[in-house]
Amino acid sequence: MPPLTRNRAGQGDMPTGLMALYYAQRASAGLQIVEGAQIGGEAAACPGTPGIYNAQQVAAWRRVTDAVHARGGVALVFLQL
C-alpha cells in the first residue's frame, strides 16, 4: 500500500472507525504504511490528519490495528511520523 494521508481523523485528531474499516478492508495487502500521524498538536500539516501524541489516540490506533488483525492481516502496520 502506498503511504498517504486520508484526512479522516475525528475531533481531537483521533483515528476513527472509518479508518479502522479502510485498513481492515486491505488486511491482505501485507505491509501497511498508513497515514502520516502528528507527533504533537502543533505538528498538523493539514486538517483531518490523525495524531499519536496522547493516550487516547494510541488507544484509537490500537483499534485500527486490531481491526486489521481481525480480518486476517498478519503483517505489520506502520505510521508515518
Q: How is residue 14 written as a grid cell?
A: 483521533
The percentage of residues in the chain with a pLDDT greater than 90, rounded to a whole number, is 52
Contact criterion met (CB below 8 Å) for 1 and 32: yes
Predicted confidence (pLDDT) per residue in 36-54, tens digit: 899 998 888 788 899 999 9
Give the predicted TM-score (pTM) of the model. 0.88
Q: What is the pLDDT of residue 71?
A: 92
Residue 19 phi/psi, 5° resolution? -70, -40
CA distance 14 to 70: 21
* pLDDT less than 70: residues of the chain: 1-3, 75
What does the radius of gyration of the chain's CA atoms come to, in whole angstroms?
12
